[in-house]
Amino acid sequence: MASSSLPLLDIAPVVPVVVLADAADAVPLARALVAGGLPAIEVTLRTPAALDAIRAIAGEVPEAVVGAGTVITPAQVSDCVAAGARFLVSPGWTDVLLEAMRESGLPFLPGVSTTSEVVALLERGVREMKFFPAEAAGGTAYLKSLAGPLPGARFCPTGGIGPGNAAEYLSLPNVGCVGGTWMLPADAVAARDWGRVETLAREAAALRTLRAQV
């Protein structure tokens, strides 16, 4: 797949952050997101259905680049690899978790919210990171302040990002993409309204064009 050869932060401007209670919804939801132009899909390990959802998407939606989020232990890294995840995202990191993600051979985004954490990851050769929780940790103003002294770091901000502020994040030179849930409203998922999900995904994917015009 062409998109999988790109760096993780460059596959799409928005990475949907998916929380699924029923793994049966994984395939139609993923197909709607892909059809809308958002092929990189982060399924969070917040529900018992998460690994089955990753497995289903990996097996039945080859156009998707499915990853696992909220990865916080080496055991979860192994489980996600076995399920077919193609990238890993953590809300934070330790050396033990970082080594497990590195040894998995998959692209990964360790979470950071402070300058010291960014510097520590750069020391360890990691340049692509998740900035979380983005709005609570300082938002675009904080990321702007990091661009000068730490130009080698690139971020996927997640947490408190929606259609009203996503473009502002994407206009920053050190932001490759953003993560969010706004294209997956709870009522649409509950109603299995995949047409609405596809429409919202398409609107989110259009942020790439908006970014190019900034």
Q: Summarize pLDDT for 199-213 with one digit per residue, the tens.
A: 999 999 999 765 545
In eight-state DSSP terms, residue 49 is T
pLDDT above 70: percentage of residues in the chain: 95
* Residues facing residue 41 across a β-bridge: 66
**Model-level pTM?**
0.94
CB neighbour class for 155 (10 Å; exposed up to 12, middle 13-18, buried from 19): buried
Give me the chain's average pLDDT, please.
Answer: 95
In this structure, are residues 183 and 38 in contact, taking their beta carbons and an 8 Å threshold?
yes
In this structure, are residues 161 and 175 in contact, taking their beta carbons and an 8 Å threshold?
no
- pLDDT value, residue 213: 52
In this structure, are residues 42 and 8 in contact, taking their beta carbons and an 8 Å threshold?
no
Q: Give mean pLDDT, residues 37-54.
A: 98
Please, what is the angle between helix 50-60 and helix 74-83, to 10°?
A: 30
Q: Which residues are catalytic, by number? A: 42, 130
Task: Say yes or no to pLDDT of 1 above 50.
Answer: no
Quick one: how far is CA 73 from the chain centroid?
Answer: 18
- pLDDT value, residue 210: 53
Q: Which of 115, 111, 114 is nearest to 97 (CA)?
A: 111
